[in-house]
């Protein structure tokens, strides 16, 4: 049975990936800082679907803790067939007012960590001749949106290149680019529900985002933009004047 490793698995999109993959019969390795939340989710999924669920409580910005996760990703025993790089957090858009050390941690978690885990996964997957990597990015990658958009833009660019290079050898790499999605992501930034200033029609359901991204990854797509409305927005963003794109990117937090 294939095994998937998911970072940021304790809540939000990460937990939804865990639920949908377990329902498909995949064994899981769940990674996040909150061991209690991981243990609860592991028990739920094991009981509901009869799959094996490992828990790795780790702060991915701590080098020694991250090394344990990298070793698990690269292990030959119970090999990882699917890596979901999902861990992340948001910051206010006012870069000039943000603490620079918070910005550095933000950059490392969104860029350095998935790069390291993808590197660890690729060696083992290429040796076996098959595997998949999903890098959870955002439509912010296509719209100027402070350092969050910049980090997600790196993930999209890397995923496009890596998919072109490694898919012929059996390993696909997909950047998942959802728009505003109903999870606890914004609440963890200290924002109560309903203050985003985003029309209800632009909010996505996490179940739909995950299901669509898994379908796209199974087809070997380099980029997955769940929902037609955001596909249209991304297309418009590519031709919009920079000033207009920046104003659009300033909506929400």
Instruction: Look at the domain 3-249 and name its fold.
Output: Rossmann fold (3.40.50)
In this prediction, the residues of the chain whose per-residue pLDDT falls under 50 are: 186, 189, 191-195, 244-245, 248-249, 252-253
Instruction: For Cα atoms 90, 109, 151, give the angle at the middle one, nearest 5 degrees.
Output: 65
pLDDT of residue 145: 80
pLDDT of residue 198: 60
Residues 217 and 134 sit within 8 Å (Cβ to Cβ): yes
pLDDT of residue 204: 80
Q: Which residues contact 222 (CB under 8 A, 6 or more apart)?
A: 159, 160, 163, 164, 173, 174, 175
Q: How do the domains of the chain map onto residue ranges? A: 3-249
Which residues are catalytically annotated? 148
Q: Write out pLDDT tens, residues 87-114.
A: 999 999 899 999 999 999 999 999 999 9
Token pair of 109, please?
Answer: 């978690």
Task: In whole angstroms, give the CA distance from residue 45 to residue 29.
Answer: 12
Taking the model in full, what pTM does it have?
0.87
């Amino acid at each position: 049975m294939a095994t998937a490793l998911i970072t940021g698995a304790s809540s939000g999109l990460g937990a939804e990936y865990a639920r949908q993959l377990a329902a498909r019969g995949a064994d899981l390795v769940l990674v996040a800082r909150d061991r209690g939340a991981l243990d609860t989710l592991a028990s739920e999924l094991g009981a509901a679907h009869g799959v094996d669920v490992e828990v790795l409580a780790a702060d991915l910005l701590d080098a020694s803790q991250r090394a344990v996760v990298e070793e698990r990703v690269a292990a030959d025993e119970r090999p990882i067939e699917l890596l979901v790089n999902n861990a992340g957090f948001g910051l206010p858009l006012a870069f000039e007012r943000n603490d620079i050390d918070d910005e550095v941690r933000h950059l490392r978690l969104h860029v350095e960590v998935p790069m390291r885990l993808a590197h660890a996964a690729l060696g083992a997957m290429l040796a076996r001749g098959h595997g998949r990597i999903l890098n959870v990015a955002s439509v912010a990658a296509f719209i100027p949106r402070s350092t969050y958009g910049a980090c997600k833009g790196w993930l999209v660019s890397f995923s496009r290149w890596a998919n072109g290079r490694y898919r012929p050898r059996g390993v696909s790499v997909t950047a998942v680019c959802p728009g505003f999605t109903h999870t606890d992501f914004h609440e963890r930034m200290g924002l109560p529900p309903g203050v985003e200033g985003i029309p209800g029609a632009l909010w996505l359901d996490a179940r739909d985002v995950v299901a669509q991204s898994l379908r796209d990854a199974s087809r070997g797509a380099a980029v997955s933009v769940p929902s037609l409305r955001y596909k249209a927005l991304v297309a418009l963003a590519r031709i919009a004047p920079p000033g207009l794109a920046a104003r659009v990117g300033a909506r929400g937090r």
